[in-house]
Amino acid sequence: MKINKLFTLILGVLFSTIHCCDMRTRTHITNEEHVTEKVSIDELQQLVKDHSLLMNSLYRTTLQLREDFYNQKMVLSNGTKQDREKQQGYIERAKLTKRDPKLTKANLMGPISDDQQDIFDDLQEYTEDIQAGRHAERPRGILLVGPPGTGKSYFTEAFAGENGYLFFKQDASDINTGFAGDGAAYVKASFNYYRQEADKHATQPRNEGKLTIVFIDEVDAVARCRGDMGEGSASTNTRATLNQLLVEMDEYEKNKNILFVFATNREGDLDPAFKRPGRADRTVYFKPPTKEQLIKKATELAPGYRRCDGAIQVMEKKQKDGSDLFDIMVNHKFTFPYVKVVLARANCYAHRAKLSKAQWEHYKEAIEYAVIKKTGDERRGYPRERSELVQDLAVISQIKNNLPTEDEKTAIAHLKTIGCTNSFLINE
């Protein structure tokens, strides 16, 4: 396209130059022949003006072509076959992040919070306004914060499928590689690919106003606060990757068809520049699921286990205090993955007892196993206060009878395996 424009400008300059020479020659000849026909000053000035405009346009087009040529040479190849292959490798990695969102709002486990509902409503209204030809604003980025297993990825795929959006899912750990400069180069190449796909998707029939979701999970792996990274080559590489990510998020005009969604369970570790409005300007918090959501998840998973038929009815059996096993799971803030742990363990316990169906005792023992697992995981991952450790000990003491043996040494060894290494806790 630019080459054709360049040839057109060159021909225009040649014809205008010949025309100017012809006008000057005719004027000179007519003056020698003492003919009264003269070229008007206005016509000559207009011709000179057109000629100057053509020359300026030719000059600008030549400069632009030269700049594009060198930019393409530096970015794509840098003059070597190895760099071209590396650039193509980045694009192939980005292509693998494309997903087909098959979930919708109806697939979510139970009622959603008001903040989550606002995301559905705002994006739906934005699409409708754009299709109607009205100006509409939308969030540039959405940050999803919540404990592991609360359905952040599930939620993102659901509103992408609900609105018919193009969906890319990227893990932050794949971005932040160990090679110097590789992370920043991959961010630049992948975001260019996302923009091309987003623009292509938006120009298709009936897709006007429909965005492209770029979802980066566990974003704290690449967007940690730069003051906490320390020194060294690895920290420098991570910092360069974050800087490139922030630059790509600021390209408002280029990202007009892209909505960035990030998920993390460590909001306090994120860099302040990453969370500022214009980058991640909407934060949605996810809480542990309610009793109704846990029941719905258990109903969905139970048919996959041979001995968990009728699990819901057994687990909803009321005790003397009026509570059931699902109430215990809610009190311990169980998330959706722990429902699968409970069903799997109950199925194992029933198999050990050589029963065709898991009993109430099996589900209770499975919940106690999940409590120990959850407590140990949290203690390894987060600093714990003394009061919290004492509370954990109280919980463990309640289920002590369900430990492998009643021997005290075995119980202490079991406490050590889940992280209870503090002397005051074991001495309790």
| Confidence band, pLDDT 50/70/90 cuts, at residue 340 | very high
Q: Which fold has domain 94-285?
A: Rossmann fold (3.40.50)
Which of the pair, 18 or 211, is modelled with greater confidence? 211
| Confidence band, pLDDT 50/70/90 cuts, at residue 314 | very high
Q: What is the pLDDT of residue 203?
A: 86
182-191, 197-206, 268-277, 373-382: least confident range: 373-382
| Confidence band, pLDDT 50/70/90 cuts, at residue 11 | low
The Cα 345–Cα 334 span in angstroms is: 15
106-115, 191-200, 316-325, 327-336: least confident range: 106-115
Domain boundaries, the chain: 2-75, 94-285, 291-427
H runs (alpha helix) in 269-335: 272-275, 291-301, 311-315, 325-331
Highest mean pLDDT among 37-51, 136-150, 180-194: 136-150
Residue 113 pLDDT > 60: yes
What's the mean per-residue pLDDT of the chain?
75
Query: Which 3 state secondary structure label does DSSP give 19?
Result: helix
70-79, 94-103, 123-132, 314-323: least confident range: 70-79
Count of alpha carbons within 13 Å of 428, Cβ hemisphere only? 18
pLDDT tens, position by position, 215-232? 999 898 888 887 765 554
Which of the pair, 189 or 382, is modelled with greater confidence? 189
Distance of CA 110 to the CA centre of its chain: 24
Count of alpha carbons within 13 Å of 72, Cβ hemisphere only? 6
What are the backbone dihedrals phi and psi of residue 226, each rounded to the nearest 5 degrees, phi first? -65, -20
Q: What is the pLDDT of residue 84?
A: 67
Q: What is the pLDDT of residue 178?
A: 62
